[in-house]
Amino acid sequence: MSTRVFVHPGCYQDSARLMQVSRELAALPGVSESVAMMGTQTNRRLLADAGFPESELAHASPLDMIVALRTDSPEALDAVKAALGRLLEGRGASVAAGGGSAAARRPGSVAEALEAHPEANLVSIAVPGPYAAFVAHRALDAGRSVFLFSDNVSLADEVALKRRAAGLGLLVMGPDCGTAILSGIGLGFANRVERGPVGIVGASGTGIQELSCLLDRKGVGISHAIGTGSRDLSEAVDGVMTEAGLALLARDPGTKCVLLVAKHPAESVARRLHGILAKLGKPVAVRYLGEPARGAVDGVLYAGSLDEAAEAAAKWAGARAAPAVIETIEPGERGGAATAQGESRLVGLFGGGSLAAEARCVLAAHGVETVVPAGKLSVRAPLPPGNLVVDTGDDAYTVGRPHPMVDQTVRCELIRAAGADLSVRVLLLDLVLGDGAHPDPAPELVECVVAARAARGGRPLAVVVSVCGSRRDPQGTARQEDALRHAGIHIASSAALAAGEAAALLPRVREEVAR
Partner 1 sequence: MSASTVSASTLNASASVLLEGRLDVVHAGIDAVAEAPRSTGATVTVVDFEPPSGGDPRRMTLLSEVLSGPKAPEIDAANACTLAHLLASRPHLVGIGIARDVIPGMAEDLFLHAGPPVTWERMCGPMRGAVIGGLLHEGRAKSTEEAASLAASGAVRFDPCHHHDTVGPMAGLVTPSMPVFIVEDRGGERAGARTFCTLNEGLGKVLRYGAFSAEVLARLEFMRDELAPVLAAALALRGPIDLKHLMAQALQMGDEGHNRNRAGTSLLFRELAPAVVRATEDRERAARVLDFVNGNDHFFLNLSMPMGKCMLKAAEGEPLSSLVTVMARNGTDFGIQLASMPGRWFTGPALQVRGLYFPGFSQADANPDIGDSAITETAGFGGFAMGAAPAIVQFVGGSAEDALAATRAMRRITLGANSGFAIPALGFAGTPTGIDLRLVEEKNLLPQINTGIAHKDPGVGQVGAGLVNPPWEAFHAALEALAEHVRAAAPPPRA
Partner 2 sequence: MRSTAIETFLDDAMNPVRVLKPLPCRELDPLPGPVSRASLVLDLACIFVPGRTRALLSGQGGEPGSIEETVVKWAHARVRSLVGTLLSGDVRVVAYRPDAAALTGLGPGLTPTGDDLLVGLAAMSQRLVGGGLVEARAAVAFSTSLAGLPSEETTPAANRLLQNASKGQFPSVLASAVEMLGNPHADPESLRTLTVRLAATGAHSGADLLAGALALVHGVIDGEEKP
In DSSP notation, 450-469 reads HHHHHTTTT---EEEEEEE-
* C-alpha distances out from residue 419 to 42, 69, 144, 386, 457, Å: 73, 75, 49, 15, 11
> Alpha helix (H) ranges present in 169-227?
205-217
Closer residue to partner 2 in complex, CB, 17/438: 17
Closest separation in Å from C-beta 166 to partner 2: 12
* By CB under 8 A, residue 108 contacts partner 2: no
Min dist CB 28 to partner 2, Å, is 16
Q: Can residue 183 be called a binding residue for partner 2 (CB under 8 A)?
A: no
280: Cα separation from own chain's centroid: 22
Pick from partner 1, partner 2, none: which does 420 bind, CB < 5 to 8 A by kind? none
* In contact, 82 and 75? CB cutoff 8 Å: no
Range 36-75, binding partner 1 (CB under 8 A):
63
Q: Give me the half-sphere count of Cα atoms (radius 13 Å) on the Cβ side of residue 378.
A: 3
Contact 487, 317 (CB under 8 A): no
Measure the CA–CA gap between 222 and 99, rounded to whole angstroms. Answer: 42
| Of residues 245-264, those binding partner 2 (CB under 8 A) | none
**C-beta of 38 vs 250, nearer to partner 1:** 250
By CB under 8 A, is residue 491 in contact with partner 1?
no
Complex with partner 2: residue 48 or 324, whichever CB lies closer: 48
- Residue in 144, 287, 425, 490 binding partner 1, rule: CB under 8 A: 144
Cα–Cα dist 193/209, whole Å: 10
Binding piece for partner 1, criterion CB under 8 A, among 122-130, 326-334, 424-432, 459-467:
122-130
Q: Is residue 483 within 8 Å of 443, Cβ to Cβ?
A: yes
> Does residue number 287 form part of the binding site for partner 1 (CB under 8 A)?
no
Q: Which is nearer to partner 1, 276 or 326 (CB)?
A: 276
Interaction between residue 7 and partner 2 (CB under 8 A): no
345 binds partner 1 (CB under 8 A): no
d(CA 95, CA 357): 54
Residue 15 binding partner 1, by CB under 8 A: no
480 touches partner 2 by CB under 8 A:
no
Shortest spacing between CB 24 and partner 1, in angstroms: 14
The correct pick among 51, 85, 99, 367 for binding partner 1 (CB under 8 A) is: 99
210 binds partner 1 (CB under 8 A): no
Q: DSSP letter string over 345-373?
A: EEEEEESSHHHHHHHHHHHHHTT--EE--
Stretch that binds partner 1, among 30-38, 239-247, 283-291, 318-326 (CB under 8 A): 239-247
Among the listed ranges 124-132, 146-154, 161-169, 502-510, the one in contact with partner 2 (CB under 8 A) is: 161-169
494 belongs to the binding site for partner 2 (CB under 8 A): no
Q: What amino acid occupies position 42? A: T
Q: Exactly one of 229, 335, 348, 436 binds partner 1 (CB under 8 A); which one?
A: 436
48 or 372: CB nearest partner 2: 48
According to DSSP H, which parts of 292-425 are helical? 306-316, 353-365, 395-398, 409-420
Using CB under 8 A as the binding rule, whether residue 128 contacts partner 1 is answered as yes
How far apart are alpha carbons 435 and 181 in whole angstroms? 11
Assess 112 for contact with partner 1 (CB under 8 A).
Answer: yes
Does residue 97 touch partner 2 according to CB under 8 A?
no
CB under 8 Å, gap of 24 or more: what pairs does 457-461 form? 459/422, 460/336, 460/425, 461/419, 461/424, 461/425, 461/426, 461/427
Position 63 contacts partner 2 (CB under 8 A): yes
Query: Under the criterion CB under 8 A, does residue 247 sit at the interface with partner 1?
Result: yes
Asked if residue 474 has a cis previous peptide bond (ω within 30° of 0), the answer is no
Distances in Å between the alpha carbon of 294 and those of 246, 298, 462?
21, 11, 32
Contact footprint for partner 2 (CB under 8 A): 13-16, 18-20, 22, 33, 35-38, 40-43, 46-47, 49-50, 61-63, 68, 114-115, 141-143, 167-169
